Amino acid sequence: MNRYLDLSIPEIHELFVNHKITPVDLVEECYHRIEENSDLNCFITLNKSEALEYAKKLGEEKVEEDNLLWGIPIAIKDNISTKNIRTTCASRMLENYVPIYDATVVEKIKSKKMIIIGKTNMDEFAMGSTSRTSYFGAPKNPIDKTKITGGSSGGSAACIAGALTPLALGTDTGGSIRQPASYTGIVGMKPTYGRVSRYGLIAFASSLDQIGPMTRNVYENALLLNEIVGKDKKDLTSRECEREDFTRFIGKDIHGMKIAIPNYFVSNIVSNEIIQKLDHVVEILKSNGAEVDYIDMKYLDQAVTLYQIIAMGEASSNLARFDGVKFGYRSSQSDSIEEMYANTRCEGFGSEVKRRIMVGSYLLSGENAKIYYDKALAIRNAMKEEFDRVFQEYDFILGPTTTTVAYNLDESLDDPRKSFMDDVLVIPVNMAGLPGLNIPMGENDDHMPIGLHIIGNRLEEARMYQIASFLENKLK
Amino acid sequence: MDKLTKEEVLHVAHLARIKVEDSEIEKYQIELKQLLDDVDQIKDIVVESQELLVTPVEHETILRNDSDTREVEFNMIKKNVPATNGNFVEVPVMVNE
């Protein structure tokens, strides 16, 4: 079998332009690799016959020379709606659900002639930090198959780390792109809230959810982000931004950049092997003319509590639509409509999802809405203002993405709090609507990847790619 | 271990419209209590401003006209409907006589 998929996207593009290979060659190689690595369980649904047919059709067309993503295979997380391709959210509830329309990001992917290979595994309704809550079984970490991929975009992360496709889309509500990217050693960007339309993304917590690119390197991440951003009249929370090339600062140096590291991000909640890698990054930054300060930031240690209230509250409301009436699973055991709702939701949802919906419903009921939800929103506002204050003085905030490396797949799922604590360092970014990027910064003695988390001010993705690419080169 | 009462679990499950099997009640008594204890910590956090941040959206969201934006044929959505009767979605009895 050929190994074209190991080439960079510009190299593949060159081969297309010079008629050395066709999209069919790449797509066949993808499916060959997916079949050879089926134990990774990265995909819930493959789009094989349609993808091959489309690749053949593309091969008969003229290569778009100014479109680097022409004919490039991509994997899509299974909570993003794809017309005529089953979209399950890794839940029994949507096991047989086939959308009749494309999410806006999927329309954009198609308009740039990328080829959709399949739908990736994830935590059920994106609720979890290990992808083990999937109704279809957990994906495995390609670096060590006894370890978790992280989550919730675990299938997309493993797909990139296992070199099954060059590009993937994930979604991030409280770290679900960046944390699995860290655990599998890839690049994952959660863009500024509103950068990417959420139309067609099956909602978990609407004020936190954002779609973003997961890739092998920083440059290709920026390339994919270029094509998925933009105001969308179907998503009123999407924002009007001038068209920009997110790769434009890549290759420039970092002299004069001001970087803050919150003391909480290097406190005793983070393992020593990770702190050591971060120390090395700080040395690189300083020796290349950047200024690095350790600072205090309020409220960071409260992020998990805030997240629990806001995310579970919003989820309980968003997931009310799964009632067995118009689509999805319906229990056959009911004599009345009330019974049908309760039975359908009991049988259709897994235990993590049920737990979160129950707590969320309770938190929003009656007086509780004031006691919990309003208080959480007040702290959320204070947290955002705290970030604003730091960004008046600094260009970026850095820290580790996770407190440990990926742990064992068979570690107990019994503690309902564990899945929240895995995301303790990445949740604040969603609260404030900021962009956050994971890049690999090394590995531990067992070769498990360690991730660096770069937080930028709103709409500063291009500058984040600049520092990320600089560090990526220095850390090679 | 500290846990919710059976009645509290059933109350929360009813709010969420999720049936809880008898065999699951004890599990939920413990797990829901752990999560509710976690979120209770919010009461101790001191915050100066009472301004709420509901969404990070900074721009004005403009309401669209209250009119149809597109039409979808029932035949298209029918394949995802769990039970149909002709051109209707079929559900169990909603009104008791």
Interface confidence, given as ipTM, is 0.94
Residue length of chain B: 97
pTM of the model: 0.97
Task: For residues A450 and A428, give the distance between their C-alpha atoms in angstroms, rounded to a whole number.
Answer: 20
Q: Which residue out of A91, A156, A176, A469 is catalytically annotated?
A: A176
Which phi and psi (to 5°) does residue A336 adopt? -135, 170
Q: Closest Cα partner for A147 from A349, A402, A356, A415?
A: A402
The domain A4-228 is placed in CATH, from the list 3.40.190.10, 3.90.1010.10, 3.90.1300.10, 3.30.230.70, at 3.90.1300.10
pLDDT in tens, chain A (476 residues): 789 999 999 999 999 999 999 999 999 999 999 999 999 999 999 999 999 999 999 999 999 999 999 999 999 999 999 999 999 999 999 999 999 999 999 999 999 999 999 999 999 999 999 999 999 999 999 999 999 999 999 999 999 999 999 999 999 999 999 999 999 999 999 999 999 999 999 999 999 999 999 999 999 999 999 999 999 999 999 999 999 999 999 999 999 999 999 999 999 999 999 999 999 999 999 999 999 999 999 999 999 999 999 999 999 999 999 999 999 999 998 999 999 999 999 999 999 999 999 999 999 999 999 999 999 999 999 999 999 999 999 999 999 999 999 999 999 887 888 889 999 999 999 999 999 999 999 999 999 999 999 999 999 999 999 999 999 999 98
Q: Closest Cα partner for A448 from A411, A406, A409, A410?
A: A406
Query: Cβ of A432 and B56 within 8 Å?
Result: yes
Burial of A336 (0-12, 13-18, 19+ CB in 10 A): middle
Task: For residues A63 and A14, give the distance between their C-alpha atoms in angstroms, rounded to a whole number.
Answer: 10
Q: Which of A343, A371, A432 sits opposite B19 (nearest CB)?
A: A343
- Residues of chain A with Cβ-Cβ distance to B39 below 8 Å are 305, 308-309, 359, 363, 372
Task: For residues A348 and A346, give the distance between their C-alpha atoms in angstroms, rounded to a whole number.
Answer: 6
Any chain B CB within 8 A of the CB of A308? Answer: yes
Task: For residues A233 and A225, give the distance between their C-alpha atoms in angstroms, rounded to a whole number.
Answer: 19
The tokens 């007086």 sit on which residue?
A: A367
Q: Which of A207, A385, A417 sits opposite B56 (nearest CB)?
A: A207
Annotated catalytic residue A131? no
Chain B nearest C-alpha distance from A369 (Å): 12
